[in-house]
Structure 1
Amino acid sequence: MVRLNNRRNAAAKWRCNVGPRIEKLLKKNATWSHDYKALQSSEQRFDLQGRGVACESGVISQHFVQLDMKSCTCRRWDLSALPCGHVIAALYSKGWSPDDFVSEWYTKKKYLEAYEVVINPIAGVAEWEKKDRSIAPPLYRRQPGRPKSKRTKEPGEEPLLAGVERLPKSYYSQITCGTCHQKGHNKRTCQRRNQVTTLTP
């Protein structure tokens, strides 16, 4: 709630039509726009010539700007929606402001629309109205589809062995013999019981 209000108050103090970060990027692009000369082809199209990356090899850098299509051959304006140095050089030749050619999503109007939602404050927990009604669980509704016949495995439970549909009880707990009280076998397979049975006439 406080953050949204602070954003709205900060946007009301903007000096131009765009935000401070966008204004800083436009000024950075404007610094190297003076290296280019704008040759106007039509009302919305310009040919920019000047010093660029290719200037070191003796070739003059040349770019084509279309203001009506918001496009430049360097592709910076097409990708970022911010006028590059070539576009700003063309705009300065006509006496136009680069702020008017920035995408509407960077404008002050769109910024205020994004934060126009107001979150109303509420009272503290101590001021809430108390209810004596108990909270009942939601009603059970049978889910569509055939019910599954196998139980859901718990986390960490080992899966079934390959080719075995049901694991023996001894897989989870070790049985205890009722005759000798030793673990690992039952009284039916107890060797002590078998010995007694063999010696009995």
Structure 2
Amino acid sequence: MMQMIQVKKAGMAKYNGEICPNIHDKLEKLKMESRNCFATWCGQLEFEVDHFQRRYIVDLSTRTCSCRRWDLSGLPCSHGISVIQINLEQSEAYVHEYYSKSRYLDTYAFTIHPVPDMHKYEECGQKLNPLEAKKLTGRPKKLRNRQADEPRNPHKASRKSINVTCAKCLQKGHNQRSCKNKLHPKSKMRSTSGQSSQPVSTPTPTLTLTTNILS
């Protein structure tokens, strides 16, 4: 930055024009386009300009054109340049002063002073401690927020394209946790629920008494 400012300042100081060279080139192109414009004097400094089956109003007193290009850029448009030439004036006189050489030099008038090497820094004995990290509420995020135009990972399956099927009612769009429908006859949950609902019979021990009849 220090070198760039001085180079631009020295280059513009050698320039002999009144407006910046890039703006001068744009103005010359607009002069070439103004050859297709035909201006008609309406009185005072107001003109009517015909340009390719369109009509524009140019007022030199306010430096405006109905195409709005002159108002937005500060450069006279091709319609305004055709009017300026009919009025026997120079187009450079109607360029905004923002593009002038003097304003350019004012922009780069300041100087960035050189900085000494680190071995000449004076130690003050103070240290800057890092800020205390505040723990936010909620579960911390593990994934960062992707940009709108950022592609997704092609090697990882997305859950958005998976259509969930309920194991209870065999309908799509929900799972068995939020299902409020009846149990489907072909559901696998029927066999598991049927086995768990039937009571398990356990054999009861029988005591057999043997008696010896003595004859």
Q: CA deviation at 1:22?
A: 1.0
Structure 1 gap segments, 5+ residues each: 55-60, 141-146, 158-201
Greater fraction helix: 1
Task: Check 1:31–1:125 CA distance in 2 against 1; reply closer, same or farther (3 A cut).
Answer: same
Match of 2:202? none
Worse-matched range after superposition: 29-38 or 65-74:
29-38
Q: Which runs of 4+ in 1 moved over 4 A?
A: 150-157
1:41-190 map, 5 Å: 41-49=42-50, 52-54=51-53, 61-126=54-119, 128-131=120-123, 133-137=124-128, 156=142
For residue 126 of structure 2, what is the amino acid of its counterpart?
A: I
Partners of 1:91 and 1:29 lie apart in 2 by 12
Partners of 2:59 and 2:116 lie apart in 1 by 56
Q: Secondary structure at the match of 1:41?
A: strand
Match of 1:6? 7
Greater C-alpha radius of gyration: 2
Match of 1:40? 41
Partners of 1:114 and 1:91 lie apart in 2 by 29
Identity %: 25
For residue 74 of structure 2, what is the amino acid of its counterpart?
A: A
Structure 2 gap segments, 5+ residues each: 144-215
Q: Deviations over 1:99-118 (max 9, x none)?
A: 12112222222222211111
Task: Check 1:40–1:135 CA distance in 2 against 1; reply closer, same or farther (3 A cut).
Answer: same
TM-score by length of 1: 0.58
Relative contact order higher in (CA < 8 Å, ≥ 6 apart): 1
Q: Secondary structure at the match of 2:116?
A: coil
For residue 21 of structure 1, what is the amino acid of its counterpart?
A: N
Partners of 1:84 and 1:125 lie apart in 2 by 54
Size of the aligned set, in residue pairs, is 141
CA RMSD of aligned residues (A): 3.1
